[in-house]
A and B are shown apart, each in its own frame.
Chain A
Amino acid sequence: MTRPFILSASIAEATFAVPETAAPILRAAEAAGLDLLVMGRSGTRPFDAQVLLAWAAPMTSRLGLVATVPASNAHPFHVARALSAIDFLSAGRTGWSVIPEGAEDGMAEDMVGAARALWDGWGSDTLILDKASGRYLDAAKVHASNYEGPFFKVAGPVNAMRPPLGHPLLVVDGDDPIAISDADLALIGEHGAAPAATKRLLKVSPEADVASLLARFEAGEIDGLHFTLTDAAAQLPEIGARFASLVKDRANEAGDLRRRLGLPIPQTASNQPGGAVIPENA
Chain B
Amino acid sequence: MMEKQIHLWAFLQGIGFFPSGWMHERARPEGVFSMDYYARVAKLAEQGCFDAIVFGDQLQSRGAGGHTPERMAMPTLDPVSLLTAMAAVTDHVGLVATVSTSYNTPEMLAERFGAMERISGGRAGWNIVTTAHPATAPNFGEDDLPPKDERYRRAKEVVAKACELWSAMDREGPMLPQGRPVLVQAGQSPDGRDFAARTAEAIFCPAANIEAGIDFRNDLRSRVADVGRNPDGVRIMPGLSCVLGGSEEEARATHAAILDLADDALAIEYLSESLGCDLTAFDPLGMIPVETILDQTILPRADIARAITPAQEKGTPLGAFAANFMRHPRGHNVFLGTPEQMADMMIEWRDAGACDGFTLQPSYMPGGLEDFVEQVVPILQKRGRLRTEYPGTTLRETLGLSAREAVTA
B22 CB contacts on chain A under 8 angstroms: 129, 131, 136
Contacts A57-B85, A58-B85, A81-B78 given; does A142 touch B173 at CB 8 Å = no
Q: CB-nearest residue of chain A relative to B62?
A: A159
The distance in angstroms between the C-alpha atoms of A154 and B103, with both chains bound, is 13
Q: CB-nearest residue of chain A relative to B141?
A: A153
Q: Which of B177-195 contact A (CB under 8 A)?
A: none
| Contact flags A135-163 to B (C-beta < 8 A → 1, else 0) | 11111001010000000111111111100
Contacts A75-B103, A135-B70 given; does A278 touch B174 at CB 8 Å = no
The size of the chain A interface, using a CB distance under 8 A, is 59
B197 contacts partner chain A, Cβ-Cβ < 8 Å: no
**Smallest CB–CB gap between B26 and chain A, Å?**
11
Contacts A78-B104, A134-B23, A279-B30 given; does A17 touch B174 at CB 8 Å = yes
Are A282 and B28 interface neighbours, CB within 8 A? yes
Are A73 and B105 interface neighbours, CB within 8 A? yes
B139 contacts partner chain A, Cβ-Cβ < 8 Å: yes
Are A77 and B140 interface neighbours, CB within 8 A? yes
Are A73 and B108 interface neighbours, CB within 8 A? yes
B238 contacts partner chain A, Cβ-Cβ < 8 Å: no
**Smallest CB–CB gap between B115 and chain A, Å?**
4
A214 contacts partner chain B, Cβ-Cβ < 8 Å: no
B84 contacts partner chain A, Cβ-Cβ < 8 Å: yes
Are B119 and A51 interface neighbours, CB within 8 A? yes
Are A129 and B139 interface neighbours, CB within 8 A? no
Q: Which of B287-346 contact A (CB under 8 A)?
A: none
A74 contacts partner chain B, Cβ-Cβ < 8 Å: yes
A219 contacts partner chain B, Cβ-Cβ < 8 Å: no
Binds A, one of B53-61, B201-209, B227-235: B53-61
Q: Which of B27, B29, B63, B73 has the most CB of A within 10 A?
A: B29
**Smallest CB–CB gap between A164 and chain B, Å?**
8
A11 contacts partner chain B, Cβ-Cβ < 8 Å: no
Are B108 and A47 interface neighbours, CB within 8 A? no
Are B77 and A160 interface neighbours, CB within 8 A? yes
Q: CB-nearest residue of chain A relative to B262?
A: A134
Binds A, one of B33-41, B218-226, B384-392: B33-41
A5 CB contacts on chain B under 8 angstroms: none
| Contact flags A38-57 to B (C-beta < 8 A → 1, else 0) | 00000000111011111111
The distance in angstroms between the C-alpha atoms of A53 and B61, with both chains bound, is 24
**Smallest CB–CB gap between A92 and chain B, Å?**
11
A59 contacts partner chain B, Cβ-Cβ < 8 Å: yes
Are A82 and B33 interface neighbours, CB within 8 A? no
Are A51 and B80 interface neighbours, CB within 8 A? yes
Contacts A88-B33, A134-B266 given; does A159 touch B85 at CB 8 Å = no
B253 contacts partner chain A, Cβ-Cβ < 8 Å: no
Q: CB-nearest residue of chain A relative to B84?
A: A54
B247 CB contacts on chain A under 8 angstroms: none
B379 CB contacts on chain A under 8 angstroms: none
The distance in angstroms between the C-alpha atoms of A154 and B136, with both chains bound, is 10
The distance in angstroms between the C-alpha atoms of A50 and B35, with both chains bound, is 16
Q: CB-nearest residue of chain B relative to A280?
A: B30
B112 contacts partner chain A, Cβ-Cβ < 8 Å: yes
| Contact flags A8-22 to B (C-beta < 8 A → 1, else 0) | 000000110111001
Contacts A144-B66, A159-B58, A159-B62 given; does A88 touch B119 at CB 8 Å = no
Are A74 and B70 interface neighbours, CB within 8 A? no
Contacts A85-B78, A86-B81 given; does A155 touch B139 at CB 8 Å = yes
B111 contacts partner chain A, Cβ-Cβ < 8 Å: yes
B130 contacts partner chain A, Cβ-Cβ < 8 Å: no
Please pick, from A51, A85, A159, the residue contacting B115 in the complex, using a CB distance under 8 A.
A51
The distance in angstroms between the C-alpha atoms of A102 and B329, with both chains bound, is 47
Contacts A14-B174, A75-B103 given; does A55 touch B119 at CB 8 Å = yes
**Smallest CB–CB gap between A109 and chain B, Å?**
16
A246 CB contacts on chain B under 8 angstroms: none
Q: Which of B76-135 contact A (CB under 8 A)?
A: 76-78, 80-82, 84-85, 87-89, 103-105, 107-108, 111-112, 114-116, 118-121
Q: CB-nearest residue of chain A relative to B34?
A: A88
Please pick, from A48, A50, A139, the residue contacting B67 in the complex, using a CB distance under 8 A.
A139
Q: CB-nearest residue of chain B relative to A129?
A: B29
A153 CB contacts on chain B under 8 angstroms: 138, 141
Please pick, from A81, A90, A131, the residue contacting B77 in the complex, using a CB distance under 8 A.
A81
Are B119 and A52 interface neighbours, CB within 8 A? yes
**Smallest CB–CB gap between A23 and chain B, Å?**
9
B68 contacts partner chain A, Cβ-Cβ < 8 Å: yes
The distance in angstroms between the C-alpha atoms of A134 and B262, with both chains bound, is 8
The distance in angstroms between the C-alpha atoms of A88 and B266, with both chains bound, is 27
Please pick, from A14, A19, A152, A282, the residue contacting B29 in the complex, using a CB distance under 8 A.
A282
B121 CB contacts on chain A under 8 angstroms: 19
Please pick, from B33, B141, B261, B265, the residue contacting A154 in the complex, using a CB distance under 8 A.
B141
A sample of 27 cross-chain residue pairs with beta-carbon separation below 8 angstroms, ordered by A number, consists of A17-B173, A17-B174, A19-B88, A46-B173, A50-B81, A54-B84, A73-B107, A73-B111, A75-B103, A77-B139, A85-B82, A88-B33, A89-B34, A89-B38, A134-B71, A134-B263, A135-B71, A136-B29, A154-B139, A154-B141, A155-B139, A158-B139, A161-B33, A278-B34, A279-B30, A282-B28, A282-B29
B contact set with A: CB distance below 8 Å:
22-23, 25, 27-30, 33-35, 38-39, 58-63, 66-78, 80-82, 84-85, 87-89, 103-105, 107-108, 111-112, 114-116, 118-121, 138-141, 173-174, 261-263, 265-266
What 7 pairs between A and B have smallest CB-CB spacing?
A155-B138, A153-B141, A51-B115, A48-B115, A85-B81, A85-B77, A54-B84
